[in-house]
Amino acid sequence: MVETLYLNVPESDTKVISKLLPAYAKTVASAGGEVLATFKVTQLPNTDRKMTHIVLIQWPDPSKRTNSISKTGFKKIGAALGGNNIQYGFFGAQQDIPVTLSADKIYDFSSAWFISDDPCAFPALFEILGTYFSKIPPVLQEFGISQTAFFGPHPAMPEETNMFVPHMFGIFEWQKFEDREVFNKDSRYTEHVDIRNSVLKKMDIIFAKVML
């Protein structure tokens, strides 16, 4: 299970980044998880959410994350990180997805919701969306996108306040943010984007860079 921790931290509150996030990483490790990376949000091209950082956490055993919610360490540090300024997302994939993160690249955190909330409708909507995805990869590769990862909501996600639960979640690695702007105007993308839009009612897109 992959957990995404979305933070909205004031620029002036450097203590959160310099002290609390390392402390949170230790708490996660003690519970059986691993903080894969912390990202600094750089652009918010398509979202109504306010955030400054994203923390990516891996839980090989989802039950350990569920069991850790009531522990004092999580509650204390979670409150110190911002309380209501945190959103939690929990995602899973059908198979392991190897991803190498690079400080000189930029990452597109994209989330989407289908036009229907009925899970019975998802297979048909996925089939239509598959037509779109079959056309786009060659174009993405021209823009240097060599890594993508797609997830859905994890069936064993724990109960948290301020949950973020899209129907789909993906991470795309771009060379630079400007490439995405050029890609959006490329005719090979625009001629197929209506297929994607026909099955989605909302998208949420955030760009961020790995923090060293």
Q: Residues in the chain, how many?
A: 212
Range 2-210 classified under CATH 3.40.50.720: no
* Torsion of Cα atoms, 152 then 110 then 212 then 101, to 10°: 60
Q: Where are the domains of the chain?
A: 2-210
Closest CA to 93 of 114, 138, 62, 65: 62
Task: Name the token pair of 75.
Answer: 């509650």
pLDDT in tens, 81-132: 655 578 889 998 766 667 788 899 999 999 999 999 999 999 999 999 989 9
pLDDT in tens, 15-61: 667 777 888 888 888 888 899 899 999 999 999 988 889 999 998 88
pLDDT in tens, 137-180: 788 888 877 667 778 888 888 777 788 999 999 888 898 899 98
pLDDT in the model for residue 19? 76
- The residue type at 209: K
pLDDT in the model for residue 76? 65
Residue that has been written with the tokens 């060659």 in this structure:
138
pLDDT in the model for residue 77? 64
Task: Name the token pair of 29.
Answer: 């490790």
